[in-house]
Structure 1
Amino acid sequence: MTSLHHQHADAVAATLDAALWQLDAHAVMEARAIADLADAAADPIRSPTWGRRHALGGHGDPVGDAILGLGGRIRRNRYADLSREVTEQLDGVARHLPAPLGWTAPLTRIRDAIPAMTTHAAGRTTLLLDRLNGRIRRQLRIGTGLDHLAGLECPACRDRLVSAYTAAPATVICRCDHCRCTGPGCHCRLPGAVVGAPHVWVRARAVAGAIPTNTPH
């Protein structure tokens, strides 16, 4: 049976994948901006970014000001650096997994391997992917990748901090910090219950078992 850790790992992997696509898009835009600054530094009189400028620079000379503010060197592409770091960490995990035919992206290999992982491995994978996902989203300021589901209560703690993953909308999670599964016999009554796992379940089950928000605890 697939455990809560497996369900969570799969949803977080999809969310990380969506974040990586946005990170790569930012890296491309940043590379173009850096290239424009490099062109401006190479030709301080004629700038491809700002057009013809005064040779003395100074106030109203945004390219010159930007370059001087960088200590005379063009800035690094922080988005490309982060993408490279995250990919290296994912590759460190993927290289220990069964290798498919041909080259496959590290995150894809991890996602494909999740169903066959042990419960412990799935839980550890979830922690890693969630940490990387959070790091990217904080850098890009794009939110958590979760949509709050108003009017639904967690089957275990009855709190209303229930959200669905935007990249995996069929998966619902309780975001209450103290809400963790106690294993078989837990009040959540979810299939695949495992001690210490966050409560994760299929959205259709959450909607079907929705409790009105005016229901007293």
Structure 2
Amino acid sequence: MSAALLRLEQVVAGWTAPATRPLDLLVDAGSIVGLCGANGAGKSTLLAAVAGRAQVFHGRLWKKPKIRCALQTQEAPPLAGLPLSGRELLALTGAAADGLPSWLADCLERRLDRLSGGQRHYLGLWAILNAPAELLLLDEPTNNLDAAGVAHLGAALRRRAGAGCGIVLVSHDPAFVAATCDRVCRLEAPDGR
């Protein structure tokens, strides 16, 4: 029997005003749920609401008590002049380098601002994927990744789910969603798009 980690009942979320249609969603331990829909449907806003960054205007958002969540956003932190290496980033998040693909493991001693956009993105994802959390919230995790990165990410997500982690991911990549997610929830924009 699965254990519920997250339950949304008719949740309407937003920042200063409601930005989503009501949504019901259940995420169990070990499951990967995809959120799909047009731009403006509120997918990222719903992830932010689950993480406590956006407001819930209506409905009920329940998380397992004392659950640890890790959120990956599309926002790229400014790195110019930041003398932080890939290994130091992983240490800050408590993530291990074990399992990193060789094309990224070989870059761990380099400063983040000297890595390519794809390398930085995947390293940031790896830090989230391996953070000590029971619920992962991923916003467009395949952005900036090549085919090898997407394949490695899918396998890493399956391993985390297999270890009992619940995962909610937003994606516009239908092939990735079909290959990775156990269930897909399609959101419609508040204006019906």
Instruction: Give the TM-score normalised by the residue count of structure 2.
Output: 0.28
Greater RCO, 1 or 2 (C-alpha within 8 Å, sep 6+): 2
Whose helix proportion is higher, 1 or 2?
A: 1
Larger Rg: 1
Whose strand proportion is higher, 1 or 2?
A: 2
